[in-house]
Amino acid sequence: MARYFTKKITTRELADSVLYAYRNENQFESYEPNKGLELIVGTETYLEEYNKGKIYQFTGLTSQILKDLKKIEFSDENSTANPREAYGTWRNGEAKDYVGFHTLENGLSFFGVTAGGDWEVPIFYMIYSDGKKLRAYIPTEGNTWNRVNKEAFGNDEEKDELDLQRKGLQNMDEVYHDCEKLKADILERIVYTGA
């Protein structure tokens, strides 16, 4: 079932929305009002702010994002949107092409995140604007979550084994993010309809 976005925005506009949501949700305890939304997204300035711990777990950003992310059970204990620190193994591309702020060829700007507990294989999810509000999406294809129990790998050894067998994999070392499949999933699932 497709989702839709009605307005193409820049990564800067999306970043402003994400940071505004942080401020409104009081998750930016060390937020400096005089810096406002001047964090330059995708640059060293943004990464410096992230590395200082001012930008971290994103699952509770809005009630809609929290609802969207309930599709899969995972911990946000280790969350990152810094491409240099992306968790997990990546193939057919690089984490830097998906983690952080990006725009796809259909005009969809998104904020990519990897997250998982110490015991889990981290999953990839993204935050985007549908034109009215911030939403989250966890791609199915190319992602690293267990389809048998809809949880990150590492939460249920028996069901993990079942899903690995279903996928023709021998062990967890063979589980990885497939960039080409992630992108195809996102482009197929989130469609631009215009205003």
Query: pLDDT tens for residues 109-138?
Result: 999 999 999 999 999 999 999 999 999 999
For the cut 80, the answer to whether the pLDDT of residue 45 exceeds it is: no
- pLDDT per position as a tens digit, 50-99: 445 445 567 777 889 989 999 999 998 888 887 877 888 888 888 888 98
Say if residues 121 and 114 touch (Cβ distance below 8 Å): no
Q: Provide the residue ranges of all domains of the chain, joining segments of one domain with +.
A: 7-189
Mean pLDDT (the chain) is 83
**76 Cβ contact partners less than 8 Å away, ≥ 6 residues apart:** 57, 58, 59, 115
Which residue stretches of 1-126 are H helix?
11-24, 44-51, 63-69
